[in-house]
Structures are given as structure tokens and as C-alpha cells.
Structure 1
């Protein structure tokens, strides 16, 4: 499905349901269409599956990352939100932290020896210190609005809230320092979800779609669209299978991993320009 159609359908969906993402999405400024006309056309990518691994169908994936040879996952749902490490080959998980039943876990990021875990509507990020034995809770920070995706460039954090905005965040105070609106051909792209920093760009799942957008973090401009339609075979779908969500990048081995909410598989993929 083309991103133009996705943007239209997403806008209609958000407007119909009155979701907070619709309320917080920003319209492209006047003249954006003219500016977009002189910008390079976003690249279009498809994919090739290099390997597949087992993934728990009970894991409602909200955040996924690779750190020091280990795959980490943050999950959502009230009463089921955890931070856990995954054994890639077996899919077995090791729980490292669990949220109270009142909180719904969202994106995670690791920076400076600390793991940050967003919550959806509790306006709280939990911060844990990485230790030899696991995670040690060290502090919480409050933030306005919803928490969706989180990633880092190694110095700052970058956060999404379900709108078309990305926020640059100070990891010490969790205060927002900058906001950019993500645009595709001059049109705002709402429903930005799980985030991953890859080679100077932010990759973001677009919630409710099979698309990942590649974003210039300085300008918010979408430079590429990865279409992952059909990634999870139809035979693997169950009544609890939810949408694509979860991007992890292994910078040492240049491996790209993706999965979805309650998916039975986690995939290592290669993207191919069309």
C-alpha cells in the first residue's frame, strides 16, 4: 500500500475515533508542497528475509533494541508490561523489570548505562541502571502527553507520542529540547510509533500500517519508506496477532531485526531499494 493512501486512511481513522494522535498532529505549513517539490523523492524499499526466529505470541512488543550483543524488548498491556531480554535462537525471555498493573509499557532505549522505559498514558518514564545482575531502578521522570517510541543517537534521546512529532530529550532531566514534525512530500505523518536510530537516521513504525519510515532527525523529512507487507506469513496469524511494531539494529554486525505485537516470529531482514 502506498504511503499516500496510508496517510489518507490514517487521517480518516484518527479523525473518526478522536484519538489523541489526531488532536496533536500538525498540518503542514503553507508552502510545504512547493518546498517538497524541490526535495529529493523519498526512496522506496522492499525487503528480503535473511533469517527468522521464534517470538512469544504473548509479547505485545512496544520497544525493541540491540545492546552489547543482547536483544532487549519492552512490552505493553496493563498487567503484562515488562522489560526483558530475548534469546534470539530460542525466543526465550528473561524478565528484567515489570510495571504495576496500572501502567502500560511503551518504547525503551539504553543510553549511558541506563535503560529508559516509557509509559503510554501515565506520563512517566522509568529509568533503570544496567548492572551485572540485571536492572536497578534509579529514578522516574514526568513528561506531558503520551509516550510511544524511544531511541537514542548516543547522546540524546528521541521520543514519539503518537502524533507526527519527534522530540529531542535530555536524558538527565527528560526535558524536551527540540521538536520536529515528520513530513512526507510536505504532509505530516501521524502515528509515529517505535523508533530506532540507524546510521544517523531515525526509523519509525507507522502504527496500524506495514510501513517503516526513514527520517532525517534534523528536518523531519521522510527520506525513505520500507514496505514490510506480508512479512508475517498468513499461516502464522492468530486472533491475537496485532500490527507490525519493533525495530532493532545491531551496529557491529549490520543486522536489522523487526517483529510485531504478539507475533510468532522475529525477522532479520535486508532492505532492497525499488
Structure 2
């Protein structure tokens, strides 16, 4: 087993094994020839596509599409070669529109593009340990102007608070209406953005006063989980392997990446933090953080924090690791978990 599959076990608990799947609804006249397809492709590979013509139709031309975007065409039944370097990780949907005798017919196929990056196993050192509110079901965790902010979940117990992490003193707290289950937060453009779990609504507050300025509806039928930003765009999770890229000015989802560690799709990516050009993300119910390339979704590093749990005897298995906050002033990372009694200030190295 390759090393990156071993590391993926930390995130997944299992290693997903890819396999070719028969596509449903393939056209009976033509099919895409997958006889030479590997179980997975990587972005460094090229794809040679052709069609099988069992009825010996005289083919005039073929137009080829990936995810409904035309990528080229050929005369007759010639194969078409396409580089995968610009494709997302995850499933790609192929279509060949075959033109023959004044008619046309589609053949379809699904392939999976996976990461060829071997994640590095990262080390950490505990710099400080601070108390954490055991009633806080942590969802969002972020520093703004050297002050720590935390959002929590559960209907009737969701709030955002601004507080002194050293003493626990609360400077300000905003309680959500009882109907809402609060989720991730992030600060950008002088605003504080917050998601909700299944309510499909988000909130925008003034960053200084925490006064609610706007409520918005999700553009897509998804759940709200974690949030972070790169100074220009917001990134948010929905409980799947996806990290969405969002325009903070319009709240429109403009793109997404799928998170992969080697051949393994990492589902349930949760709380996010942007640190030095990478996305650090909790994985739901795993005592580990994945370091993700925001350009392609490849996991480049894995931080196993399972030993932190051993320092507390007052938490259960349901009290999962969740909460990553980077303090740019100290260049350290703060981590905690849902209802944990401690938060930890750590440094990370290879």
C-alpha cells in the first residue's frame, strides 16, 4: 500500500478502492471504448477517447465533451486525445456525439480523476493550553484583529462570541434565534459571515459591532458547515467532499473543488482555515486535520491530533475535534473540539 493511502486511513478510517463502473443509459448504437481506461486517472495523464460501433454505421464525425463542455472533435471514427491537467479531481462525465447518415447519437461514460500527491505526515508541538467552554458546540473558530471569535451549533444554543482566549472572558455574544443551528464563520471585507446547518440561510454582520446587516439564502440545496477566506473569496463546506468558492459580494457559488487524498475521496470536510495559501480542514469525526491545495483539492499534508484527546478525561467520542484558528500575530494555530474543556495553541512542522 502506498504511503498516501496509509495516511488517508487517518482521515477516512478506510481506503476507497476505485473501480470502473458501467454507465447507466449508454446508447445502444455507440459506446465509449473504455477497454484501455485505468481504474483512475490523474491530472498528469491524457485521455484517449474513441467509440465502439457494433452496428458498423458509417460515421461522419464525432464531437467530444467533458462535463458538457466541448473539448474537440474528429472526422470519421478517429480517436481524440485530451489532456486532463485542467480538470477537477473527482468524477468527470464524458460524452461523444456521433454523427452518421444525417443523424446523431450520444455515448456517455464516467471517469474519476484522483490525486497523485503523496501527503506529508505533519508534526505539531503544543505551545500553550487554555480552558475552553464545555457548553460550546464549536462550529467556527477564527481570529480577527488579534481577538478570538467562536460560533457554536445546536438549536437553542447557537451563538457567536468574541472573547479573551487566555481567560475565557466574553467581550460580546450574539445569540441566534432558537430555530437556527449555527455553523462556520469567517471575516472578510469588514463583515462577519455565518452559515447555518440545515436552515439554508446565512447571516452577515458588521465586523466591529456584530450587528446583523443581512440574511441571505443559499444558492444551492446544500447544508452549511465550515467557512474561511483568502481575502478575496469565501470557501465553505457542505458535509461532502466539496469545498465551494463563493463571491462575498453576491453570495454566489462560482466554483468548487473535490478533496482527495491519493485515490481516496475525503468526505465530510468541515471547519476550515486559510493558512499560508492552503486550506486546513477538520474531517468530521476524525481527530485529524487535512491540508488541502485550494487550486485542485489535493490533500498535501495530514496532521494527526488524536493524542490531544488523551489529555482530557471529561469528553466522549461524540465530542469531536472541530475548530482551527490561525493567529497571524503569533504565527500559531489554535485547535479545539465540540464541548472540549481545553483549546491548544500549536506550531506545525513537517
Normalised by the length of structure 1, the TM-score is 0.86
For structure 2, the 5+ residue unaligned runs are: 1-5, 17-88, 93-110
Instruction: State the secondary structure of the residue aligned to 1:267.
Output: strand
Partner of 1:7: 12
Instruction: State the secondary structure of the residue aligned to 1:32.
Output: strand
Return the alpha-carbon distance in structure 2 between the equivalents of residues 165 and 31 of structure 1. Answer: 15
**Are residues 1:163 and 2:163 paired?**
no
Alignment of 1:26-175 (within 5 A): 28=91, 30=111, 32=113, 36=115, 39-131=116-208, 134-143=209-218, 144=220, 145-175=222-252
Where relative contact order (Cα < 8 A, 6+ residues apart) is larger, the structure is 1
Return the alpha-carbon distance in structure 2 between the equivalents of residues 214 and 229 of structure 1. Answer: 16
**Are residues 1:208 and 2:213 paired?**
no
Return the alpha-carbon distance in structure 2 between the equivalents of residues 204 and 72 of structure 1. Answer: 17
1:105-132 deviation per Cα after TM superposition (whole angstroms, max 9, x unaligned): 000000011000100000001000123x
Partner of 1:15: none
Instruction: State the secondary structure of the residue aligned to 1:79.
Output: coil
Structure with the bigger percentage of helix: 1
Return the alpha-carbon distance in structure 2 between the equivalents of residues 233 and 85 of structure 1. Answer: 28
Return the alpha-carbon distance in structure 2 between the equivalents of residues 197 and 239 of structure 1. Answer: 28
Cα shift at 1:9: 4.5
Structure number with larger C-alpha Rg: 2
Distance 1:46 1:167, change over 3 A: same
Please tell me whether the aligned partners of residues 249 and 257 of structure 1 are also in contact (alpha carbons under 8 angstroms). Answer: yes
Cα shift at 1:10: 9.4
**Are residues 1:268 and 2:273 paired?**
no
Return the alpha-carbon distance in structure 1 between the equivalents of residues 311 and 240 of structure 2. Answer: 30
For structure 1, the 5+ residue unaligned runs are: 12-25
Please tell me whether the aligned partners of residues 28 and 187 of structure 1 are also in contact (alpha carbons under 8 angstroms). Answer: no
Please tell me whether the aligned partners of residues 132 and 341 of structure 2 are also in contact (alpha carbons under 8 angstroms). Answer: yes
Cα shift at 1:40: 3.7
Cα shift at 1:239: 4.8
Q: Count matched residues.
A: 253
**Which range moved further: 44-53 or 228-237?**
228-237
Distance 1:237 1:230, change over 3 A: farther
